[in-house]
Structure 1
């Protein structure tokens, strides 16, 4: 946890990783298109992995050979950690691959980018982002379970977060990313007092997924520094929701002001870009440098047009060290039983 003393003065960090909307306006800068040869290599790797095991948890990098695409993914991993911080991979043949083939290809690509990280108390290491029927006001609901409404800019709990589009809805559901490095540095330059406040531990709501007998909230700074690196953990709705717990620390006026500043600046458009997911697209984001969100969307269940993404949380090998609060949760109750979440396009659970 950050050791923030009364005389702590935050510093501008990792300026090479800053970008504005103008810098990333051209989609070709962040879209990596798979070649026919790479798609064929992925198809062969899927077939090979299926011959090893039908349990994704038993499929690692070694079981998913990518002799040509693998080195390219390593370059992408480096760019995610030390560069722009986000990428869109396009080219998986969704029109002819089953959900399981798509999910296994996505899992295999993920294993070349890092190690899986549990996403919730169910131990899901491959999750589903779709309408689970939970209302936004439900104190146990999480972003991947809430359908239709837009989601504020936020970051998840791992080094990298990946999303793969299985299916789009009728309309909307655009993905948005925002450069949190640029936000941090601007806040440091303009309001160092607010930046310093966000280096202090803030209460986050556990959304009902805490260990038995433990508080319904936890403490974590929004900003952390290790060496010259910036680490960000921002989920404003969860921070605000922590105040429903009587035993949670109260947010200071400066913290509330700083969170509002971050929200307003992220939504302002100067440091963000919107992309339209197509079926088969894979997006990977550096959680510490890039916030993500989405626009509202519309489903049509009768027509089978239901927005459905798969999600990975990954621990990258490129990042050699990280603050203790960002260590993989393999030692917590979230990892007691790792599972694969499987939901079909009609949102019916077909297995765990």
Structure 2
């Protein structure tokens, strides 16, 4: 007789839950840089370039922000223990070059955390724009696919940041959704489905696995650690794992749970939409907030091509995290640590 009780998931971090109504006012989550802070950033950019034009040589110490730095630390705490997302507005895109914009963004990122490799190219600063890859390409990643919308998902780090260099002709709205609220609602309404997502699920590596390794890896969608909720949800990658004959097959409950998460995220009750302007920076807590985007239109001939820069960051706010959420700076991805320098059109 089996006396082991079935796993019963519990609601977690209810203080970090929010609904669309709670965050309807953009003033709640928009941080405007002051003229003095922009001057401070400009001086820090000049100082950093005086040390090196290799971004990998620039860290927090090489990018001094005596006034803005403490404000960024408060934002970092809010990201990890509060609302989980922020829009920082005010970088002077109209008078700064691509390199100056990127250095300012890199330096701000250094005050929020340490960089995390984003792909097998080792990019610590990446480009989100149309790379000419088709959505059906099994090796394509979200930052490389242009024009189409992206499902709500999380990236592979504590924090993810996006900075807008340039907008397209239309569309490309950014959306964020509270995954804590979704988790807790699923626990209340369908604990069986929540429990299924605490089990390891197969994710497709998109062809970026280490040599000789399988094209998929196992990871739970939900993890509880020190009474914190950690989420890794990339539904298209989980479904794509099934193209590998040696990957574990998804259960019916897993597919039902993934569909429930997608439907609730897209339903609008737990999400907010923001329209990036050139110079805007968005930072989110990957474990508490999903992000996606609407389809968009580019006009390359007219120089209207949507182009964002991306950072994945490890924060000091988390003193402890599950092993499968540790920074991959020791992985095969990090051996090619580099900065992506695609020019905005």
Report the TM range for the smaller structure's normalisation. over 0.9
State the alpha-carbon separation in 1 of the partners of residues 69 and 330 from structure 2: 29
Q: Note the 1:193-204 alignment, pairs <5 A.
A: 193-204=192-203
Question: In structure 1, the residue corresponding to 2:118 is in which secondary structure?
Answer: coil
Partner of 1:248: 247
- The structural deviation recorded for 1:6 is 6.0
Q: 2: CA distance between counterparts of 1:151 and 1:120?
A: 18
How many Å separate the matches in 1 of 2:45 and 2:148?
34
**Do the aligned partners of residues 95 and 298 (structure 1) sit closer, same or farther apart at CA in structure 2, a change above 3 Å counting?**
same
Q: Distance in 1 between matches of 2:130 and 2:331?
A: 27
Match of 2:234 in 1: 235
In 2, distance between residues paired with 1:56 and 1:336? 16
**Matched position secondary structure for 1:331:** coil
Task: Name the CA distance, whole Å, in 2 between partners of 1:331 and 1:37.
Answer: 39
* Corresponding residue number in structure 2 for 1:257: 256
SS at match of 1:212: coil
SS in 2 for 1:16: helix
Q: Summarize the alignment of residues 126-275 of structure 1 with structure 2, pairs less than 5 Å apart.
A: 126-275=125-274
State the alpha-carbon separation in 1 of the partners of residues 292 and 59 from structure 2. Answer: 29
- The 3-state SS of whatever aligns with 1:109 is helix
Provide, for residues 38-87 of structure 1, a one-character-per-residue CA deviation record: whole Å limited to 9, x for no partner.
Answer: 00000000000000111000000000000000000000000000000000
Task: State the distance in 2 between where 1:199 and 1:94 align.
Answer: 43
SS in 2 for 1:67: coil
In structure 2, the residue matched to 1:349 is none
- Partner residue, 1:332: 331
The offset of 1:337, in angstroms, is: 1.7
Which residue number in structure 1 is paired with residue 61 of structure 2?
Answer: 62
- Three-state SS of the structure 1 residue aligned to 2:329 is helix
Give 1:140 shift: 0.1
Q: CA deviation at 1:227?
A: 1.3
d(CA) in 2 for partners of 1:254, 1:330 = 34
Could you tell me how far 1:7 is from its partner in structure 2? 1.4
Question: Structure 1: 5+ residue runs without aligned partners?
Answer: 347-352
1:16-165 → structure 2 map (5 Å cutoff): 16-165=15-164
Give, in whole Å, the separation in 1 of the partners of 2:330 and 2:252: 35
Q: Secondary structure at the match of 1:89?
A: strand
1:171 Cα deviation (Å)?
A: 0.1
SS in 1 for 2:336: coil
- Distance, in Å, in 1 between the alignment partners of 2:341 and 2:46 is 19
SS in 2 for 1:187: helix
- Which consecutive unaligned segments of at least 5 residues does structure 2 have? none
Tell me the CA shift for residue 330 of structure 1.
1.0
TM-score between the two structures when normalised by the length of structure 2: 0.99
- Cα RMSD for the two superposed structures: 0.6
> What secondary structure is seen at the aligned counterpart in 1 of 2:300?
coil
Q: Does 1:343 align with 2:337?
A: no
Whole-Å separation in 1 of the counterparts to 2:275 and 2:97: 22
Greater than 6 Å deviation, 4+ residue runs:
none
Q: Distance in 2 between matches of 1:152 and 1:337?
A: 29
State the 1:331 CA deviation: 1.4
Mapped partners of 2:290, 2:318: distance in 1: 18
Q: Quick one: distance in 2 between partners of 1:170 and 1:282?
A: 19
**What is the CA–CA distance in structure 2 between the aligned matches of 1:303 and 1:140, rounded to whole Å?**
29
CA distance in 2, matches of 1:218, 1:121: 15
Query: Displacement of 1:98 after TM fit?
Result: 0.2
Distance 1:222 1:185 in 2: 13
TM-superposition CA deviations, 1:257-308 (whole Å, max 9, x none): 0000000000000000000000000000000000000000000000010000
Distance 1:71 1:6 in 2: 47
* Whole-angstrom distance in 2 between the partners of 1:124 and 1:99: 17
